[in-house]
Each structure stands twice: as structure tokens, then as C-alpha cells.
Structure 1
């Protein structure tokens, strides 16, 4: 089985490549990544064919997709705040990029296409838990690009018979997730700050809730979907229905690192939803054997990885080693 992963040098992509390398059914892995947010270090020691470039490069995609049985489309410009700073860049990377991937898949004979959408498409819809039949109400350009991704997958399935499967990711976290850029996710950013004694920045009062999903669990679902060739144009929530406030998350981090974490509250961010929790019924019906990792286990594993990364990056004799 030959699989292409766009965005495969990124956080989720790198973890997925690592998970797929141990599957005997997988004979060849190809990664397409422009390294704008990814890093080839995430693929260190892995046997992959690497295609450096953008998913909007049709010729590059044709080379990468040739003979492929499946494509996992993870390439994107993530982050709501980033999309507020540059909506057009988000649109081109996420919406147009998805269209280019689908066109390349069509030219390649119709491999199975799995794509990442986002829980942000639910936006201002207050209903909890979020089930896939809810009306979408995107609150940011990023959310619109992900809803567009879903719409294109459905259209290509119905119009051209392309076998597709869109997943709505919910706050994925875990080892390999960077904290050293302006749009870093909350868990790596907070753990990194806490480990070096800096306060964590809480946007708003901290009562907002999220459904955090460990990256290893996400990779097990994606691997299962690939190997079983699960197909369907309707989106699937990829989360298990947990609900953790940001204040509770601080306590989880404190338990993992063994000391109190200082907090600094700042105004809430534009475009952020107040509460997010997945209805996991469709996911569990499709993937009954995949069980989630508990948040405390996931935070502990993530903190261990970040601590190791900090130690490697810190010069000896600095007082932090």
C-alpha cells in the first residue's frame, strides 16, 4: 500500500508517518511539505520519499501521487489568529490547497483521500456536545477554509466518485507539537512556559472548555481508516467527548510537572469559541476498537517530551541543565 501524506513533516503528519512505518501493509510512504510550519526533523530516521513543495504545485502533486493508493491531506496554515492576520493566505493554503489535492487525486486515478477539517466549523453554535448534524457557524476565516475543505470533499465524492473521508479534529496535542512560534497551541505553549518558570497566558477568564485529543489516538484512527479503507463524504468528529476548562488544564499541567503554574489573564481573543465538546457517536461506530488516552496520561507524555526538548536545546552550564 502506497500512501501520500501532505503536511507530513508537521506535528500530526510526522506522528502519523511514524505510526504507519510499522504497518506491514504499508510498502511506501511519501511526504509532501513546503516546510512553512513543518520540519524535516519530524521525519528523522524514517524511510519516506520527501517532496519539498506546496500543495498548490500541480506538477509536484502529480509526481507524489503517481501510483498512490491513499492520500492523507493534512497540509494547511493552522490557527484562527493566523487567519485573522492574513485571511487570503489561509484561504489559498487551506481551501485552494484542498482543491489542488483533489484534482491531483482525480488525475492519479482516484486514491482514497482522507482530509483534516476542524471543530472550528461549529463556531458560534452553542449546542453541546457538537454532533456532525449541527448547523455550522464559522467565526473565523480559518473555520471557513475548513468548512470549504469538507464541501469540496463531498462534491468530489458525489461528482467524480472519489473515495473520501473528512475528519473534524478537536484540539490535538502531544509530543512533536512546537511551542516556539507565535501561533503555538495552548498545551505546548503552557507546558513550555511552566517548565522554565514563566506564567501561562490565559485569554479570558479560563472557563472556556475544549475537547483535547492526544495525537497518538488521532494517528490510530487515521491508520485504521487507511488500512480498512473507510469511505464516506459526511464529516466525522475525531474526539471522544471530554470537556476540560483552561483552568482545569492548568491543574493538569501542575500535576504533570510537579509545581504550581503562574497565570496571567488577558482579554479573550476574537474568533475563539467559548466551549467545544465532541459527540463521538459516529467515530465510535466506525472505529470501535480505538480508545482515547486520558488527559492526565497525555499531558504527562507531552510534558516529558517538551522537557527533553528543552534539555537538548539548553547549553550546558546555563543553570537549566
Structure 2
């Protein structure tokens, strides 16, 4: 697994260890965005290194039956501030992973693309055959990610699956950097009595997807070696605006929220909603997690966070009182 110390990666490690304890897990991560403590006391082989380091990557993929490629520099604003680094990590990095897999005869690779590739396309819900019009360097790099995966499938016969992630949220997601996603920023601010900042009018909508649901699909994809000749949306066709998210958080936390509105951020799309027909065909048993339940699990995780000397010195709270806790919630068909 690449990027296994990050938000999705470390959640996936826990799901695999719980659901498939017979599996051997090897993680490569350079900790540019992930945290080594996310893997503390977990039964994984850890290689500290970048996917741009050919030697480290070769060690990481040697003898593997499958690769889940999650390493990336996320965030639209980050890519606008530093497009070259985003391209190197996301586009060149994916090419490096696929080439390493080909050279090591790894039979199956799953990669993470993004709903941001749809960009300026206004059609809702968005199916995978719609035209793409990226609005940020990040979106371009993710379009390259999925394109390389599909090209390696067509050119070399490598079994690949490219998921388009849609606004994943849940326990373990960091709030403590300038490019943090909206839900962890909201939750942390509400619980700490801080200002809740909303970029735009708050009516922009997203197809929020709970992290454990995503991880279960990833595990199933690896277990069954699922491949496809088109990208696959990994979301469930919901459409929730940010004001509704804040209303849900008011009900969960019991705290009134009076957001502060700021200018929209460059590169952000107005609305995002998945057509999940392909997902349902490939993963007919998948179940979704209602937003209210996922948000409650996320709030509970943040409430369990504690300040440590290291995190306090760095200006954020990242430790968790019960880090090995499972975050399963009730799921329902969507």
C-alpha cells in the first residue's frame, strides 16, 4: 500500500487487519502528509520512503499480490500554490508505481483518482463517461493518475482499477494544516468553540462518503482482483450542501453554529454528485453510511482526541485516546 500512514490509508490498514487478518500488509510512506503514529502498534511492514524513490518503491512492491495506491499530495488549494509538487507526487508518482508493479510482476493495482476531474462539467449526477474539464493542477494530476492506470491495463495487460473518490470524511482525518478538508475543519472548530469559516455561500454541495465504506470497497476490490476499463465513481449519489452539514453538526454536538463566510476558493467546483451505477455493478453488496451516522462517529473521534506535548508544540491536536478503536457504524442500502 502506498500512502498507508495517511487518512484513508491508515483506516484501510485497520479494516484489513480486522476483516482479513491473514493478509500481510506492507506500507510505503514518506510522511509528507501522513503520520507515523497512525500505524503505531499495527501489524504492518513499514518502509519509510517516497514513491519517487525507485529503490524504496522496488522494495515496497517486491512479492506483492496487489497494490493499493493512495500516496498523493491532496488538496486543490495546495496544488494552486505549488503545482509542480502536486504533479510530481500525483502524476509522476503514479507512473512510478505502475512501472514498479509491471517490473515486479504485481498482478493487480488499485489507484485513487478524484471527482475533481469533472471540474467545469455541470451535469449532475456525474457518470464516468462524461467529459472532464479540470479546474486545478490537482485535478489535472488526478486525471493523469487514472489515465496512466487505464493505459497500463491496455498497453501491458496489467489488471487495474481507478476509483474516483468523492469528499471522503471520517475518524482520523486531519484538521491541522492549511489544506484540511471541510468536515474535519468544521468539527474541530465547533468542538473547540472556534470560528467556523465557510468559503463561498455554503450552498455548494458534495457527495460526502464515509471513510470506512470506502475502505471496505477497496478491500473487496483487492480480494476479488476487480478491474475495469473505465474509472469508477466511489460515492453513493448523495448531494449535501455545507449549510446542511453544519445543521447536522449542531444537532450532534448540541452547540449553536454561526458560520463566517469568506470568498470562494479558486479551483473549487460548485456541485458534485456521483452516478454510482458502475460501482453497484462491480460491488453489488456495498452499503453506504448515512451522513448523520458518519458525522457522529467523526465527532466522537474528535472528542476522544487529547493534547500531547508534541502536538501542542506543533499547534494541533492529533493524538487519540483510543487509537485502535473500531469506527463501524450502522450502514444502509443507498
* Structures share fold, TM-score greater than 0.5: yes
Structure-to-structure mapping, 1:111-126, within 5 angstroms: 111-126=107-122
Report what 2:173 is aligned to: 177
8 Å contact from structure 1 (residues 198, 262) kept in 2? no
Aligned mate of 1:247, from 236, 243, 248? 243
1:148 aligns with 2:144: yes
Report what 2:35 is aligned to: 39
CA shift for structure 1 position 111: 2.5
Report what 1:319 is aligned to: none
How far apart are the structure 2 equivalents of 1:300 and 1:156? Answer: 40
CA shift for structure 1 position 154: 1.0
Once superposed, which parts of structure 1, at least 4 consecutive aligned residues long, lie more than 2 Å away?
22-27, 310-315
Report what 1:22 is aligned to: 18
CA shift for structure 1 position 232: 1.4
Report what 1:202 is aligned to: 198
Aligned residues: 311
Report what 1:163 is aligned to: 159
Aligned mate of 1:139, from 131, 135, 138? 135
1:277 aligns with 2:285: no
Report what 2:47 is aligned to: 51
Residue 48 and residue 25 in structure 1: after superposition, are their counterparts in 2 closer, same or farther (change >3 A)? closer
Q: SS in structure 2 opposite 1:28? A: coil
Report what 1:222 is aligned to: 218
Report what 1:77 is aligned to: 73
How far apart are the structure 2 equivalents of 1:246 and 1:110? Answer: 41
Report what 2:227 is aligned to: 231
**Structural RMSD (CA):** 1.4
How far apart are the structure 1 equivalents of 2:303 and 2:76? Answer: 27
Report what 2:59 is aligned to: 63
Report what 2:87 is aligned to: 91
How far apart are the structure 2 equivalents of 1:111 and 1:26? Answer: 19
The normalised TM-score by structure 1 is 0.94
8 Å contact from structure 1 (residues 110, 163) kept in 2? no
8 Å contact from structure 2 (residues 61, 106) kept in 1? no
Deviations 1:10-65 (A, max 9, x none): 00000001111124474310000000000111112210000001001111111111
What runs of 5+ residues in structure 1 fail to find an aligned partner? 316-321
8 Å contact from structure 2 (residues 175, 184) kept in 1? yes
How far apart are the structure 2 equivalents of 1:288 and 1:161? Answer: 25
How far apart are the structure 1 equivalents of 2:277 and 2:231? Answer: 12
How far apart are the structure 1 equivalents of 2:158 and 2:22? Answer: 21
CA shift for structure 1 position 194: 0.6
CA shift for structure 1 position 311: 6.4
Residue 309 and residue 87 in structure 1: after superposition, are their counterparts in 2 closer, same or farther (change >3 A)? same
Q: SS in structure 1 opposite 2:305? A: helix
Report what 1:318 is aligned to: none
CA shift for structure 1 position 310: 4.3
How far apart are the structure 1 equivalents of 2:213 and 2:270? Answer: 24
1:257 aligns with 2:253: yes
CA shift for structure 1 position 284: 1.0
8 Å contact from structure 1 (residues 173, 212) kept in 2? yes
8 Å contact from structure 1 (residues 79, 142) kept in 2? yes
Report what 1:300 is aligned to: 296
